[in-house]
């Protein structure tokens, strides 16, 4: 089992497209990591309205209730809401266009994977448009770097600090803690161990969680600075995490050292290797594949392209059997690619199409945009996506969306079987595409088929 | 099958969708019992101490500096969170109560996700590959279960109903409109992939039944909103739609429904967050009660959460992950108007790890006794296969 261009496009990329050639070798996929970013959005610091501006406008509008200024302030707040919403819709389209408009989409797949590994969820409407800025700042620049760089970028990003409540955590014996009688919030420390690095089965205890929480105090955010280290929140004294003692005297440096240590822990290497392999290859990846990726991680201190390259060079990655089911996002983006939709067409879609072809269907299929249930993100297991409701969503979308996406110029279903599936089309699918009584049904049957839903 | 054979079969069916195996209506065999069981998972760890508040405990006020204000007195010892005031009439009617100081067997790591997996798996610990839930194992122990007997409702995957017994899953916003020809071809395309074949068959079947029921439901929804007890309920909110959908299914042949209410992870400013979450819970229970009409008398609603929260209020006017908590229950089939369970006390030495409410009973004992007393499932089956490792102990009297 070796490199196969069709599997490479489907299993590791965002799917086949008549607009692009198939990747010819693993290096072509890896080279995509260095070609620069498609469809950027602005970062946290440059996005307007900022969270603070949104909140301020809301507060002014609330305060104006019962006064003559009410209409003017409500109109001003409405303008801010519209601007935030416009940005949010644009970010949704950019997120999909990165998959649809890429040559292969391996980089886009990795961005989506890492954004899910380090899930951030908006906690209120002022934050809703800002989740994509977290991905832009902390995930996208680091998919071809080291794991520790990404971890540090994530754990110092305002959106992560806000989402996992690090901004609310105060060392009980710190200057502020004693003055305000407030205390620790363990949320970020816990998820850093349980989800981001070691994994839930990892060798840590409640004491490690608490000590790490004490160590992380001081990491915070404020509107005028963005990320900010505030020594007045930092718990005094050394902290011991997984047997390593971090001195308080170093300030933020020891926090970053602790993150480096967690990032290079062998249990982290195992956890990350398994998770990447499970994303791309199989729910239960070949143990030998995991071992090889883990060793590459350990040997290079978490150099991610080496880990990806090890996966792509491993025979188990090229097993012909399609062992994964595409997530709803992958289903929609790979369908768009198969239909020959361009990245620019996705990026320029209007609000109504964004709602009706993307946001609504993702929700019905079980993957509402940027809204998983919690910090553990979307399910890893393929079967989780194949529910009655999820299939209703997929089948309806397959039958109705392609007409709109192609402006009524649907491909001939008999040709589309090959465009969408290459050599993976079964006799049943070839037959169904030709037997359908209408073009939309024929195209829909190809997209709804297991050969297209799986990878 | 070649094209000719296929077309012959389609012709023989007369393009009748109803005759296709994909959309054969489920056998209308009546379920083997009449009681309705609704399990609501409160995801995020509800602070039981702030819902059924032990004001009679001398340490409560010391632990909760700002929380626990404006309680509605229930028993002299316990007061109710004011956001549940709409449920007070149910308390007095014996249709709403709680079991306090309960927990799953999960201890110490206090992870939401592991906690929820253990709660839904119903087992003493995790194996890392949880693939069936206790509601599903309960169904496996009973004969006569159909594809419509149990419904997991909403967008989230629910381990509690996952397993070998058939259970449907649906969110009220899904729909499916296919021509008979497209349906037949879909069936062909899925014929060699059991995972997709099963889910798609269910999708088509449920979409049809929902469509048929849609007109009735529209009329019912109007009637429900006219009910005076529903005056505070937000009609279009997602949780209300879930509860309405559940009630419509349960009035029909469905006997088990499960869904989730999120928003209980109140690390920060619990006063506001818990009020919102309890508002959803109260809306949900009232919507079920009104939607079920006379069937409410035969209904048991159990609201379970993965663990409780710290006995101490934290530094951000919230509470952190803890151990012992409360289970809320409602329904005419249960013995409400009580806070069940042995109270462990809140003195520092009485707390678990000097931090959390000490669990005095395995929370699984309550659904176990409901199964035993209402559904007639024997104790051995419950203790060996539905809730392995559970010692059911004496009857807590949750069933009237």
- Distance, CA of A306 to chain centre: 21
A40 & A117 share domain: yes
Q: How far apart are CA A134 and CA A136, in angstroms?
A: 5
A129 & A167 share domain: no
pLDDT at B143: 81
B26 — pLDDT class (breaks 50, 70, 90) = very low
Weakest mean pLDDT among A257-271, B163-177, B352-366:
B163-177
Taking only the tens place, the pLDDT of each residue in A6-24 is 999 999 999 999 999 999 9
Q: Do B268 and A435 touch (CB under 8 A)?
A: no
Q: List the beta bridge partners of residue B301.
A: B38, B330
Q: Is A313 inside any structural domain?
A: no
Q: Is A272 inside any structural domain?
A: no
Q: Is A275 inside any structural domain?
A: no
pLDDT at B130: 67
| Closest chain B residue by Cα to residue A387 | B199
Instruction: Give the rounded percent of residues in chain B with a pLDDT score beyond 90.
Output: 61
Q: Which residues of B touch A438 (CB under 8 A)?
A: 179
Domain count, chain A: 3
Q: Does the CB of A201 have a partner CB in chain B at under 8 Å?
A: yes
Q: Do B185 and A445 touch (CB under 8 A)?
A: yes
- Distance, CA of A418 to chain centre: 30
Q: Which residues of B touch A392 (CB under 8 A)?
A: 174-176, 203-204, 206-207
B113, B175, B321 member nearest A396 (Cβ): B175
* The two three-digit tokens of residue A149, written as one number: 């760089």
Q: How far apart are CA B201 and CA A392, in angstroms?
A: 10
Gyration radius (Cα) of chain A, Å: 24
Weakest mean pLDDT among B48-62, B213-227, B287-301, B341-355:
B213-227
pLDDT at B6: 44
3-class secondary-structure state, position A372: coil
B178, B185, B193 member nearest A435 (Cβ): B185
ipTM for the complex shown: 0.90
Q: How far apart are CA A51 and CA A53, in angstroms?
A: 5
CA distance A87 to chain B (A): 25
Q: Pick from A214, A233, A263: which residue ends a domain?
A: A263
B197 — pLDDT class (breaks 50, 70, 90) = very high
Of A82, A157, A88, A147, whose CA–CA distance to A119 is shortest? A157
**Total length of chain B:** 400
B139 — pLDDT class (breaks 50, 70, 90) = very high
Query: Do the Cβ atoms of B182 and A399 come closer than 8 Å?
Result: yes
Q: Do B316 and A383 touch (CB under 8 A)?
A: no
Interhelix angle A388-405/B194-226, rounded to 10 degrees, is 90
CA atoms within 13 A on the CB side of A269: 20
Q: Is A117 inside any structural domain?
A: yes
* The two three-digit tokens of residue B56, written as one number: 């009679």
Listing DSSP states for B335-361 in one string gives: --S-EES-----SGGGSBTTTBPPP-E
pLDDT at B10: 38
3-class secondary-structure state, position A106: helix
Residue of A371, A389, A424, A440 to mutate for B, most B C-beta atoms under 10 A = A389
> What DSSP state is assigned to residue A357?
I
Q: Do A165 and B169 touch (CB under 8 A)?
A: no
Chain A stretch 378-407, residues whose beta carbon is closer than 8 A to a beta carbon of chain B: 379, 383-384, 386-393, 395-396, 399
Cβ contacts below 8 Å, chain A against chain B, sum to 154
Has residue B16 got a pLDDT over 80?
no
A168 & A96 share domain: no
Q: Do B111 and A184 touch (CB under 8 A)?
A: no
Q: List the beta bridge partners of residue A221.
A: A227
Average pLDDT of the residues in B189-195: 93
Q: Which residues of B touch A201 (CB under 8 A)?
A: 128
3-class secondary-structure state, position B99: strand
Average pLDDT of the residues in B233-238: 72
Q: Which residues of A touch B200 (CB under 8 A)?
A: 388, 391, 395
A45 & A104 share domain: yes
Q: Is A18 inside any structural domain?
A: yes
Query: Do the Cβ atoms of B301 and B285 come closer than 8 Å?
Result: yes
A78-85 long-range contacts, CB within 8 A, separation 24+: A80/A49, A80/A53, A80/A54, A81/A54, A81/A125, A83/A48, A83/A49, A84/A49, A84/A54, A84/A125, A84/A126, A84/A128, A84/A129, A85/A129
* The two three-digit tokens of residue A340, written as one number: 């020959």
List phi, psi (to 5°) of A368: -55, 135
A22 & A118 share domain: yes
Residue carrying the six token digits 């004496």: B394
Q: Do B186 and A450 touch (CB under 8 A)?
A: no
Between the alpha carbon of residue B301 and those of residues A79, A316, B97, the distances in Å are 45, 48, 10
3-class secondary-structure state, position B191: coil
The domain in which residue A255 lies consists of: 161-263
A179 & A232 share domain: yes
pLDDT at B128: 60
Interhelix angle A266-280/A287-299, rounded to 10 degrees, is 130
pLDDT at A248: 79
Query: Do the Cβ atoms of B139 and B150 come closer than 8 Å?
Result: yes
List phi, psi (to 5°) of A243: 85, -5
A94 & A195 share domain: no
A294-301 long-range contacts, CB within 8 A, separation 24+: A294/A266, A294/A269, A294/A270, A297/A147, A297/A269, A297/A272, A297/A273, A298/A264, A298/A266, A298/A269, A300/A146, A301/A146, A301/A148, A301/A264
Q: Is A166 inside any structural domain?
A: yes
A378 & A442 share domain: yes
Has residue B98 got a pLDDT over 90?
yes
B19 — pLDDT class (breaks 50, 70, 90) = very low
Burial class (CB in 10 A: 0-12, 13-18, 19+), A314: buried
Has residue B137 got a pLDDT over 60?
yes
Q: Does the CB of A178 have a partner CB in chain B at under 8 Å?
A: no
Q: Is A289 inside any structural domain?
A: no
Q: Do B43 and A373 touch (CB under 8 A)?
A: yes
Q: How far apart are CA B353 and CA B310, in angstroms?
A: 10
Under-50 pLDDT residues of chain A: none
- Domains of chain B as residue ranges with CATH: 34-174+213-386 (3.40.720)
pLDDT at B216: 54
A52 & A108 share domain: yes
Q: How far apart are CA A75 and CA A61, in angstroms?
A: 9
Query: Do the Cβ atoms of B223 and B248 come closer than 8 Å?
Result: no
Q: Is A69 inside any structural domain?
A: yes
Write the Ramachandran bin of A105: left for phi over 0, alpha for psi from -120 to 50, otherwise beta: left
A72 & A25 share domain: yes
Has residue B27 got a pLDDT over 80?
no
CA atoms within 13 A on the CB side of B194: 0
Q: Do B179 and A426 touch (CB under 8 A)?
A: no
A181, A379, A448 member nearest B157 (Cβ): A379
pLDDT at B276: 94
pLDDT at B17: 33
Taking only the tens place, the pLDDT of each residue in A76-128 is 999 999 999 999 999 999 999 999 999 999 999 999 999 999 999 998 889 99
Residue carrying the six token digits 């006064």: A67
| Closest chain A residue by Cα to residue B267 | A185
Q: Do B267 and A185 touch (CB under 8 A)?
A: yes
Q: Do B185 and A449 touch (CB under 8 A)?
A: no
A182 & A62 share domain: no
Q: List the beta bridge partners of residue B256.
A: B37, B150
Of A71, A114, A293, A387, whose CA–CA distance to B167 is shortest? A387
Residue of A360, A395, A427, A434 to mutate for B, most B C-beta atoms under 10 A = A395
Q: How far apart are CA B325 and CA B101, in angstroms?
A: 5
pTM of the model: 0.72
* The two three-digit tokens of residue B19, written as one number: 């005759």
Burial class (CB in 10 A: 0-12, 13-18, 19+), B286: buried
- Please report the sign of the dihedral spanned by the C-alpha atoms of residue A166, residue A171, residue A175, residue A177: positive
A338 & A397 share domain: yes
């Amino acid at each position: 089992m070796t490199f196969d261009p069709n599997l490479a496009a489907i299993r590791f990329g965002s799917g086949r497209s008549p607009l692009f050639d198939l990747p010819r070798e693993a290096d072509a996929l890896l080279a995509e990591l260095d070609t620069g970013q498609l469809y950027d959005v602005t970062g946290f610091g440059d996005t307007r309205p900022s969270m603070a501006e949104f909140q301020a406008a809301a507060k002014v509008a609330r305060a104006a209730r019962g006064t003559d200024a009410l209409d003017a302030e409500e109109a001003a707040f409405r303008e801010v809401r519209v601007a935030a919403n416009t940005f949010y819709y644009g970010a949704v389209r950019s997120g999909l266009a990165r998959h649809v408009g890429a040559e292969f989409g391996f980089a886009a797949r990795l961005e989506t994977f890492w954004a899910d590994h380090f899930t951030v969820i908006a906690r209120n409407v002022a934050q809703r448009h800002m989740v994509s800025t977290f991905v832009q700042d902390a995930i996208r620049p680091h998919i071809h770097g080291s794991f520790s760089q990404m971890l540090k970028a994530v754990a110092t990003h305002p959106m992560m600090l806000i989402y996992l409540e690090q901004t609310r955590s105060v060392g009980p014996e710190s200057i502020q803690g004693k003055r305000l009688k407030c205390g620790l919030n363990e949320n970020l420390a816990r998820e850093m161990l349980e989800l981001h690095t070691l994994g839930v089965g990892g060798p840590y205890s409640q004491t490690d969680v608490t000590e790490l929480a004490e160590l992380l105090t001081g990491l915070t955010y404020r509107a005028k600075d963005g990320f900010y280290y505030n020594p007045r929140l930092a718990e005094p004294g050394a902290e011991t995490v997984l047997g390593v003692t971090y001195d308080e005297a170093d300030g933020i440096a020891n926090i970053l050292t602790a993150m480096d240590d967690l990032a290079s822990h062998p249990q982290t290497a195992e956890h990350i290797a398994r998770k990447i392999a499970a994303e791309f290859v199989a729910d239960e990846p070949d143990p030998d594949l995991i071992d090889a990726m883990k060793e590459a991680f350990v040997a290079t201190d978490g150099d991610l392209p080496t880990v990806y390259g090890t996966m792509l060079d491993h025979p188990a990655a090229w097993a012909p059997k399609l062992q994964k089911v595409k997530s709803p996002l992958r289903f929609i983006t790979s369908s768009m690619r198969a239909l020959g939709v361009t990245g620019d067409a996705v990026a320029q879609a209007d609000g109504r199409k964004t709602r009706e072809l993307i946001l609504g269907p993702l929700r019905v299929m079980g993957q509402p945009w940027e809204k998983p249930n919690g910090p553990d993100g979307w399910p890893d297991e393929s079967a989780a996506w194949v529910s009655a409701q999820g299939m209703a969503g997929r089948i309806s979308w397959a039958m109705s969306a392609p007409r709109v996406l192609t402006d009524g110029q649907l491909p001939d279903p008999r040709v589309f079987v090959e465009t969408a599936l290459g050599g993976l089309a079964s006799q049943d699918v070839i037959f169904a595409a030709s037997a359908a009584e209408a073009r939309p049904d024929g195209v829909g049957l190809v997209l709804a088929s297991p050969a297209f839903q799986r990878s | 099958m070649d094209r000719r054979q296929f077309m012959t079969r389609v012709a023989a069916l007369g393009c009748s969708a109803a005759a296709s195996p994909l959309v054969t209506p489920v056998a209308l065999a009546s379920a083997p019992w009449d009681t309705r069981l609704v399990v609501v998972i409160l995801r995020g760890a509800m602070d039981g101490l702030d819902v059924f508040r032990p004001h009679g405990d001398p340490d409560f006020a010391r632990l909760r500096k700002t929380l626990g204000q404006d309680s509605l007195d229930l028993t002299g010892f316990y007061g109710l969170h004011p956001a549940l005031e709409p449920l007070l009439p149910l308390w007095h009617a014996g249709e709403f109560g709680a079991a306090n100081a309960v927990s799953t067997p999960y201890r110490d790591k206090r992870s939401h996700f592991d906690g929820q997996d253990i709660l839904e798996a119903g087992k003493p610990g995790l194996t890392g590959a949880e693939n069936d839930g206790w509601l599903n194992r309960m169904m496996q122990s009973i004969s006569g279960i159909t594809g419509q007997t149990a419904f997991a409702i909403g967008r989230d995957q629910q381990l509690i109903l996952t397993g070998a017994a058939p259970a449907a899953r649906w969110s009220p916003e899904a729909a499916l409109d296919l021509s008979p020809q497209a349906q037949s071809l879909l069936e062909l395309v899925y014929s060699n992939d059991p995972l997709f074949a099963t889910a798609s068959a269910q999708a088509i079947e449920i979409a049809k039944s929902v469509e048929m029921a849609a007109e009735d439901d529209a009329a019912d929804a109007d009637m429900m909103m006219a009910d005076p007890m529903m005056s505070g309920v937000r009609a279009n909110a997602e949780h209300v739609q879930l509860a309405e959908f559940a009630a419509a299914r349960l009035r029909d042949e469905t006997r088990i429904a499960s869904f989730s209410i999120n928003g209980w992870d109140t690390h920060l400013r619990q006063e506001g967050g818990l009020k919102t979450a309890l508002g959803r819970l109260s809306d949900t229970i009232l919507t079920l009660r009104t939607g079920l009409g006379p069937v409410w008398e035969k209904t048991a609603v159990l609201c379970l959460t993965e663990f409780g929260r710290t006995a101490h209020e934290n530094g951000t006017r919230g509470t952190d992950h803890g151990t012992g908590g409360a289970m809320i229950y409602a329904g005419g089939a249960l013995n409400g108007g009580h806070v069940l369970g042995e109270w462990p006390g809140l003195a520092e030495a009485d707390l678990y790890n000097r931090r959390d409410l000490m669990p005095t009973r395995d929370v699984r004992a309550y659904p176990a006794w409901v199964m035993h007393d209402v559904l007639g499932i024997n104790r051995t089956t419950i203790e060996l296969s539905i809730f392995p490792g559970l010692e059911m102990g004496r009857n807590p009297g949750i069933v009237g």
